[in-house]
Chains A and B, each alone.
Chain A
Amino acid sequence: MPTFMGIIMVSRMKRMKKLLASTLLFVLLAAGLLTATGQQEGIAPGTGAGPVSAYQPEQKLTLVFWHSYSGYRGELFDSIVKEWIRSNPMIDIKLEYGGSLWTMRDKLLTAIAGGSAPDLAEIDSYWTPIFADPGSLVKLEPYMVADAKYNKADLQKPSLMSTQYLGESYSIPFNLSTIVLYYNKSYYEAAGMDKETPPKDWDDLLAFAKKLTVDKNGDGNPDQRGVVFPLKANYGAIWYWLAFFWQQEGKLFNDTLNSGAFNSDAGVAATEFWKRMVKEQVLSLSAGFADFTAELAAMELSSSSVLGSYRDNMGNKRVGLSALPKGKVNATVTGGGNLAMFSSCPDYEAGWSFLSWLGSTDVNKRWALATGAIPVRKSVLEEPEYKDYMLMDPKGNIMISTLQYAHIRPNIPEYGDASRIIAVAVEDALFNDKDPKPLLDKAKQEVDQLFKQ
């Protein structure tokens, strides 16, 4: 039986709830309306005349281009493409955000199956075989060879190799990165180490990491770890494992590319080294991916392209960069993005005009300077602005020097699935403290099945 007070309280609560809800909504929408009109500044355009295409179609053409750039990269990309659009009224480019590279692959595959693929797209550097194999991509090799201005010989070797399927290029390079070592110079100083001397080999890496693993509050658990990088298959651990694997001169597949060969001594050695780092507590199984910027880890293996954001977050003086420590040999792994044209594109010449301009020295130089990506062309290194940039900061030189021993991920359609099988086996050995050899053997059998299909 509701009492008089009860009724008052219930209706008061109801009014309060409505008031709270309305206020919340109003505040947030007001913030939205007030700021939604604010625009962020674009990036300064390049010098020189606009890029006028040598090939002009007879009728106005609109080509759809899918990309994965959002945030500041998205704005930069947008402003670069706008220059083309202004100079080429006959070849209009419609930029569409296709999702991040994680989701764009599904979107592309669905679109191709459904007959509504874009005309051009930015793709991850190891996707070329996946789309070239079923014939969805236009073979760009003849265009690269016929177009003297493109200058195929100018491309950095790992970039060129990433575009090839069965020996011929089906995409062109746009973006390049390698795995490098970042280290926190303040932590080096605090541990009494020379902040200009990063680890040069695996023994150094382990020894330095031990000195940099510190239990700050005396509870028996280290609060600062020596080194961090992704260890789980779902977070792309395979990319990092490949660096250690190739440093032991491992080979992923046999020469005829129909069976796995990663369960060799090299595979075991790479996995065992990871296990050792965990056992010595310099590498934590429960590390997060922001540990380096949160200053919970002193060293990190990561992509060269995050240098910009690390500089912003931690300051250039505190962040050190070096090539990866050497195993038996030097090796690192490439990442990056390429540009591709789909077979459904209505005008291949126009598409090539645009793509080759995006991959030209001038555009690549501006992109590399603004985003910290490694230039895909050797000629960019000779440009005065880029030379100045490298003088300002030796880190640029170091990143480029890693290219000489950078490996690309194998350009076969089975690589994607095979890499996941290997990563899961490594994760199992690491997290469940198991012997890597039998797990890698079993993974090899699974991978062999992939090839048989």
Chain B
Amino acid sequence: MVKVLKTVLLYAVLGLCAAIFITPFLWMLQASVKNTAQIFAFPPKLLPNPVVWRNYIRAWTAVPLARFYLNSIIVAGSVAFAQVVTSAMAAYVFARLSFPFKNVIFVFFLAIMMIPIQVTVIPLFIIVKTLGLIDSYGALILPFLAYPFGTFLLRQFFLTIPREIEDAARADGCPRLRILVQIIAPLSKSALFTLGMLAFMFIWNSFFWPLLVTNTEKHFTIQVGLAMLRTQLIMEVDWGLLMAATVISILPVLIFYMFTQKQIIKGITLTGLKM
């Protein structure tokens, strides 16, 4: 009896939390098929009438959304892949090797994450400009090839893998890199996926940096593109159109998650990661 009650209570709380989290998305979905007057009608009417499917068609032509999509996929995909690779290598070093001042260096590594972006943005901009990379994919990808967060995440995970697994390989004289790729990595698939997912999402959602370093529509990412629909005068914004474009923009992340859901949840529970 008590067990049933506990389960019911648990599901009720989880259900409530789920409802709270999903409400903004549901609002966005229903707003994306309405026109502005309907969206702001008061008292609020939930169901659109009439259903304005045109918003989705117009979203592709109001701004070159297809180009922005492509750019974001290229940039976010490259960064995610690069961060997984560089973080895995660094994490392995911190987890397995020993060298003087290892712990001090690790702490400094993490301290990098505490520097606010406002401090780093202008020096980084100057570096990118000096390299002649303004308004190119390089400016969007290169500064993010490595980031300490991934190292931290994977190091914690690698530490949970027993050393004995590698001992046999090491005894045979297997080089460290091969151990990482052929032994550790397959065991850490879920953690690697989680990191890739997080890095992808972070770059997909970033607005400020792409705004700063890109000048031509050819290189805009999707967040900058969405911002083009936010016109100067707030009364002129076509909210239905903006919501439709936003729905389109979150789709890749959503679909990617749907396919890798199992891996990610396993990763979160295994690393004890609280997001």
A contact set with B: CB distance below 8 Å: 17-18, 21, 24-25, 28, 31-33, 35-36, 38, 40, 64, 66, 68, 70-71, 73-74, 96-103, 106-107, 110-111, 113-116, 223, 235, 288-296, 302-303, 305-306, 309-310, 313
Contacts and interface: CB of A to CB of B under 8 A. Distances in A.
A17 B258 contact: yes
B153 to A, nearest CB: 26
A291 B215 CA distance: 35
Interface in B102-152: 121-122, 125-126, 129, 134
Contacts of A111: 125, 212
B163 interface: no
Instruction: Kindly list the 4 A-B residue pairs having the minimum CB-CB distance in the complex, ordered from nearest.
Output: A114-B125, A294-B40, A70-B228, A96-B215
A99 B224 contact: yes
B222 to A, nearest CB: 12
Given A24-B251, A36-B66, A290-B39, A110 B212 contact: yes
Contacts of A33: 66
Contact of B235 (A74, A98, A309): A309
A90 B64 CA distance: 29
Contacts of B122: 110, 113-114
Given A32-B60, A313-B37, A116 B228 contact: no
Interface residues of B, number: 47
Q: Interface majority SS on B: helix, strand, loop or mixed?
A: helix
Nearest to B234: A289
A433 B64 CA distance: 47
A17 B247 CA distance: 18
Interface in B225-249: 227-236, 239, 248
A100 B255 contact: no
Contacts of A99: 211, 224, 227
Given A290-B39, A295-B37, A21 B233 contact: no
Interface in B187-202: none
Contact of B37 (A18, A66, A293): A293
Contacts of B211: 99, 103, 106-107
Interface in B249-265: 251, 255, 258-259
Given A32-B65, A36-B60, A114-B125, A290 B258 contact: no
A294 B212 contact: no
B98 interface: no
A110 B251 contact: no
A32 B70 CA distance: 12
A416 B215 CA distance: 26
Given A36-B66, A223-B43, 10 more contacts: A25-B251, A32-B65, A71-B229, A103-B211, A107-B212, A113-B125, A114-B126, A116-B129, A290-B40, A290-B235
A31 B37 contact: no
B167 interface: no
Contacts of B271: none
Contacts of A35: 57, 60-61
Nearest to A38: B61
B130 to A, nearest CB: 9
A306 B235 contact: yes
Contacts of A28: 56, 248, 251
Contacts of A295: 37
B182 interface: no
Contacts of A313: 36-37
A71 B248 contact: no
A68 B258 contact: no
B229 A21 contact: no
B231 A100 contact: yes
Interface string B39-77: 111110000000000001100111111100100000000
A20 to B, nearest CB: 8
Looking at A70, A74, A98, the one whose CB has the most chain B CB atoms below 10 A away is: A70
Contacts of B208: 106
B232 A101 contact: yes
Contacts of B37: 290, 293-295, 313
Nearest to B35: A313
A310 B235 CA distance: 9
B216 interface: yes
A294 B56 contact: no
B58 to A, nearest CB: 8
A281 to B, nearest CB: 15
A378 B2 CA distance: 83
Given A21-B259, A36-B64, A291 B224 contact: no
Contacts of A292: 235
Contacts of A36: 60-61, 64-66
A29 to B, nearest CB: 8
Contact of B60 (A24, A31, A110, A306): A31
7 contacts: A71-B229, A100-B232, A111-B212, A223-B43, A290-B239, A294-B41, A296-B41
A306 B237 CA distance: 11
Nearest to B53: A31
B40 A291 contact: yes
Looking at B208, B211, B215, B232, the one whose CB has the most chain A CB atoms below 10 A away is: B232
A98 B63 CA distance: 14
Nearest to B128: A114
A158 B217 CA distance: 34
A292 B129 CA distance: 45
Contact of B228 (A97, A101, A310): A97
Contact of B233 (A18, A97, A103, A303): A303
B123 to A, nearest CB: 9
Nearest to B207: A103
B61 A40 contact: yes
Nearest to B208: A106
Given A103-B227, A115-B129, A293-B36, A306 B56 contact: no
B216 A96 contact: yes
Nearest to A236: B234
Contacts of A71: 62, 228-229, 231
Contact of A31 (B36, B56, B234, B235): B56
A313 B224 CA distance: 27
A100 B235 contact: no
Given A100-B231, A303-B233, A313-B36, A110 B121 contact: yes
